Amino acid sequence: MAALRVLVGVKRVIDFAVKVRVLPGGQGVQTEGVKHSMNPFCEIALEEAVRLRERGGAAEVIAAAVGTSKCQETLRTALAMGADRAVLAEVAAGAEVGPREVAAVLAALARKHSADLVLLGKQAIDDDCNQTGQMVAALLDWPQGTFASQLELEAGGGAVRVQREVDGGLETLRLRLPAVVTADLRLNEPRYATLPNIMKAKKKPLEVVAASELGGAPNPRLKILGVAEPPGRQAGVRVEDVPALVAQLRQSGCV
Amino acid sequence: MLRVAAAARGVRRAASLLHRFQSTLVIAEHNNETLTPITLNAVTAAKQLGGEVSCLVAGTSCDKVAQEVSKVPGVAKVLVAQHDAYKGFLAEELTPLVLETQKQFKYTHICAGASAFGKNLIPRVAAKLDVAPVSDIIEIKSPNTFVRTIYAGNVLCTVQCDEAIKVFSVRGTSFEAAPTSGGSASVEKVTPPPPVGVSEWIEQKLSKSDRPELTSARVVVSGGRGLKSGENFKLLYDLADQLNAAVGASRAAVDAGFVPNDMQVGQTGKIVAPELYIAVGISGAIQHLAGMKDSKTIVAINKDPEAPIFQVADYGLVADLFQAVPEMTELLKKK
């Protein structure tokens, strides 16, 4: 079986446990001085790539990020988790990059590094878009296995079987390689980077290129006009016991 | 004064002119037997854009669904593409069909419901059209301005889309379902482009249930880690039966293997907005709230008085669920 070269897209986002705040004026959310980490779905995608290599299915795992120089930290984490090398497609601080621009860069990197499989998370927990993987697949004209909860390389190496999480349950697809797969939460449980691996990761190669050279020019056709806090909910009441609860629900016409 | 009125008339005329040239394609989701309800919510969103609404029905067997869609008021035209290549509704096969349809009819807007189907297909179509798509919109402010949520529903984001073709997915719970009778759309066949053949649908395992479908149920009863086991979920099924409710779950309950993951409510699961949401043994993490905080009435039953779920609950009961839930079921039986 020919071993694959896997490209994994990772994104630096505000940590999932942080309560985000909208900036006064509504031009964005507060990102300065806020804890950032690797998007949880990206961790899962990376873990799957590393497991593929450990099983002998992948020859090399390349982690890639599109963003400011701060993303180097995210890529070091990826290297510590087991990626072999990393590429940062750098953009200037403050530049608006969305899934369309990221997809263009990742598609270019997939071609440049002759990837057979592109693994991504199913969505980033900041913009909640759930678009990049599908768009990379479209740009490359490769098949896509989105929301994957299981990924198997077929004997012979020419295809993957992907079990997907869909609305009514699960479905299984067979995708001819090269392909794009996006990870759902259930795909695996990502490992922690150990201290020795964090030290080793510092020596692994991390290449920095300009995103603009790879087709990641910002798209002025999608503008964020403003952000706002959603309307808050009215404070509720505590009820004493179950009869009181049922009485309240009956009174308000809920049941 | 007069000039202002004239200017306003001018703007109105320009706007109506714009509307006249607006046309929207809604990609229908179905299972070759019936239309998936979220399509009806997407049609309502499409109608708000003001132009003509067409619906594309693609599948291996489309006649019944096409008939169903043609009766939806507001749909002017139903386009039908039937081919064996559409088995499993693969994005690789459907995308060229949507592009072909777009080439022929030149829509200004293309949309679908933000379900697993829509989320899988819409961005692929957008990339092929070289436009940036907009995901999971909750409001249409104008034909090019949409509102969507980011950061797990904690922030509302208003986006202006100046793409020549606006490609977006619609949050079903944010738009009413269009009625299913009274319409009389024309039905037209579309010639499917040749199959692509890079992917293949193998099988599906759907969770069977007699209860209403989670995303469209009027009442939802959800359980979390506090249920302690899959067997204990029976308590919730009994309660749900009294309320004709769907049963949901938190990620903790799914990860612990109590219930299958298609029952998960939250940022990464399903988004629900029922009349009544009863959260049982769920702490109320940000990611769970993202999936249910637009519910009309929220009830929390939890033994931890500090649980964050109580901050969004209209009615909170601090109690042991193993006593409270059976008691509630019994009380509801009495009427």
How close, in Å, is residue B203 to chain A by CA atoms? 5
Question: How many beta-carbon pairs under 8 angstroms link A with B?
Answer: 251
Query: What is the spatial distance between Cα B51 and Cα B17, in angstroms, rounded to a whole number?
Result: 10
pLDDT at B259 over 70: yes
| Average pLDDT of chain B, as a whole number | 94
pLDDT at B333 over 70: yes
Provide the b/e sequence for B223-243 (b: ≥16 CB within 10 Å). bbbbbbeeebbebbebbbbbb
Query: What is the spatial distance between Cα A85 and Cα A94, in angstroms, rounded to a whole number?
Result: 26
- The reported pLDDT for the residue numbered A31 is 94
- The reported pLDDT for the residue numbered B8 is 53
- The reported pLDDT for the residue numbered B170 is 98
Per-residue HEC secondary structure of chain A comes to: CCCEEEEEECCEEECCCCCCCECCCCCCECCCCCCEEECHHHHHHHHHHHHHHHCCCEEEEEEEEEECCCHHHHHHHHHHHCCCEEEEEECCCCCCCCHHHHHHHHHHHHHHCCCCEEEEECCCCCCCCCCHHHHHHHHHCCCEEEEEEEEEECCCCCEEEEEEEECCEEEEEEEECCEEEEECHHHCCCCCCCHHHHHHHCCCCEEEEEHHHHCCCCCCCEEEEEEECCCCCCCCEEECCHHHHHHHHHHCCCC
Q: Give chain A positions within 8 Å (CB) of B318.
A: 238
Query: What is the spatial distance between Cα A126 and Cα A123, in angstroms, rounded to a whole number?
Result: 9
ipTM score of the complex? 0.96
Put simply, the answer to whether B261 touches A167 (Cβ < 8 Å) is no
Q: Give chain A positions within 8 Å (CB) of B245.
A: none
Question: What token pair was written down for A239?
Answer: 């009820």
pLDDT at B60 over 50: yes
Q: Give chain A positions within 8 Å (CB) of B193.
A: none
- Taking a contact as any Cβ pair under 8 Å apart, which residues of chain B between 229 and 288 contact chain A? 243, 251, 254-255, 260-262, 267-268, 270, 275-276, 286-287
Query: Are the CB atoms for B69 and B57 separated by under 8 Å?
Result: yes
| B238 Ramachandran zone, left/alpha/beta (phi>0; psi -120 to 50) | alpha
Helix, strand, or coil here: B302?
A: strand
B162 near A CB under 8 A? yes
How close, in Å, is residue A120 to chain B by CA atoms? 14
In chain B, the largest separation of any two C-alpha atoms, in whole Å, equals: 73
A179-183/B166-170 β-pairing? unpaired
Helix, strand, or coil here: B155?
A: strand
Query: What is the spatial distance between Cα B35 and Cα B183, in angstroms, rounded to a whole number?
Result: 15
Helix, strand, or coil here: B328?
A: helix
Tens-binned pLDDT, residue by residue, of chain A (255 aa): 468 999 999 999 999 999 999 999 999 999 999 999 999 999 999 999 999 999 999 999 999 999 999 999 999 999 999 999 999 999 998 888 999 999 999 999 999 999 999 999 999 999 999 999 999 999 999 999 999 999 999 988 899 999 999 998 999 999 999 999 999 999 999 999 999 999 999 999 999 999 999 988 777 789 999 999 999 888 799 999 999 999 999 999 888
pLDDT at B334 over 80: yes
Query: What is the spatial distance between Cα B275 and Cα B173, in angstroms, rounded to a whole number?
Result: 11
Averaged pLDDT for residues B14-36? 82
- The reported pLDDT for the residue numbered B158 is 98
Query: What is the spatial distance between Cα A138 and Cα B135, in angstroms, rounded to a whole number?
Result: 17
A222 near B CB under 8 A? yes
Per-residue pLDDT tens over the stretch B166-205: 999 999 999 999 999 999 999 999 999 999 999 999 999 9
Question: What token pair was written down for B237?
Answer: 């099924």
Query: What is the spatial distance between Cα B43 and Cα B25, in angstroms, rounded to a whole number?
Result: 9
Among the residue ranges A233-247, B5-19, B185-199, B282-296, the one predicted with the least confidence is: B5-19
Query: Are the CB atoms for A98 and A72 separated by under 8 Å?
Result: no
Of B115, B157, B170, B312, which to mutate for an interface test with A (greatest number of A Cβ within 10 Å)? B157
pLDDT at B156 over 80: yes
Put simply, the answer to whether A172 touches B203 (Cβ < 8 Å) is yes
Q: Give chain B positions within 8 Å (CB) of A124.
A: none
Instruction: Calculate ∠ Cα A143-B53-B160, nearest 5°.
Output: 70
Per-residue pLDDT tens over the stretch A96-139: 899 999 999 999 999 999 999 999 999 999 999 999 999 999 99
Per-residue pLDDT tens over the stretch B208-245: 888 999 998 999 999 999 999 999 999 999 999 999 99
A182 near B CB under 8 A? no
- The reported pLDDT for the residue numbered B3 is 55
Residue B182: CB partners within 8 Å, gap ≥ 6? B71, B73
Q: What is the DSSP letter of B51?
A: S
Put simply, the answer to whether A29 touches B200 (Cβ < 8 Å) is no
- The reported pLDDT for the residue numbered A197 is 97
Spatial strand order of the sheet with A169-176 comes to A206-210, A85-90, A58-67, A4-9, A117-121, A179-183, A144-153, A159-166, A169-176, B199-206
Residue whose entry in the numeric block shows the structure tokens 């878009």: A129
pTM score of the predicted model: 0.93
- C-alpha distances in Å from residue A12, one per residue of A77, A182, A218: 11, 17, 18
Length of chain A: 255
- C-alpha distances in Å from residue A78, one per residue of A43, A103, A227: 8, 19, 31
- The reported pLDDT for the residue numbered B20 is 54
Amino acid present at A198: I
- C-alpha distances in Å from residue B42, one per residue of A19, B115, B218, B251: 31, 11, 19, 27
Helix, strand, or coil here: B94?
A: helix
B207 near A CB under 8 A? yes
Q: How deeply is B5 buried, as exposed, middle or buried, from its count of CB atoms within 10 A (0-12, 13-18, 19+)?
A: exposed
Instruction: Calculate ∠ Cα A182-A186-A189, nearest 5°.
Output: 100
- The reported pLDDT for the residue numbered A1 is 47
- The reported pLDDT for the residue numbered B33 is 94
- Taking a contact as any Cβ pair under 8 Å apart, which residues of chain A between 1 and 60 contact chain B? 14, 16-17, 19-20, 22, 29, 41
pLDDT at B5 over 70: no
How close, in Å, is residue A36 to chain B by CA atoms? 13
Helix, strand, or coil here: B194?
A: coil
Q: Give chain B positions within 8 Å (CB) of A135.
A: 123-124, 126-127, 133
Put simply, the answer to whether B204 touches A171 (Cβ < 8 Å) is yes
Residue whose entry in the numeric block shows the structure tokens 């599948």: B59
